[in-house]
Structures are given as C-alpha cells and as structure tokens.
Amino acid sequence: MQKFFRIIRKKLIEKDNVRKYLLYAIGEIVLVVIGILIAENLAPTLKGGFSKLEL
C-alpha cells in the first residue's frame, strides 16, 4: 500500500503538478488525523473492557 502511494507522489512531483500534490498531501494528513481521533475514542472502551448487554 505504501508503495502505491509513493508511486502517486513521484508522478505528481515529476509532472510539476504542485497544486495536485499539495491537495494529495493535505488529504493524507486529514486521513491520519481522523485515524488518530478514532483511536483516541476507542482507547477507553478497549482499556476498560466491553460490557455485556443484558437482554
């Protein structure tokens, strides 16, 4: 997967598409931030254990 993104980055830089590269970089940063926020929200649940639902 990393190799795929590396290839995209190289193509964008070689073609002098600076604007597209910046948009790509910003999108990649946003995805990382979203992943961190999800991990922070799940951490207390996983640390405390899951409670069983009573039916």
Going 7 to 10 to 14 to 16, the CA torsion angle's sign is: positive
Contact 10, 24 (CB under 8 A): no
**Domain limits, the chain:** 2-48
pLDDT at 7: 83
A 10 A CB-CB count for 13 gives: 12
Tens digit of each residue's pLDDT (9 = 90 or more) over 1-55 = 678 778 877 777 777 777 777 888 899 899 999 999 998 888 777 776 666 554 4
pTM: 0.57
pLDDT at 37: 93
pLDDT at 33: 95
pLDDT at 5: 74
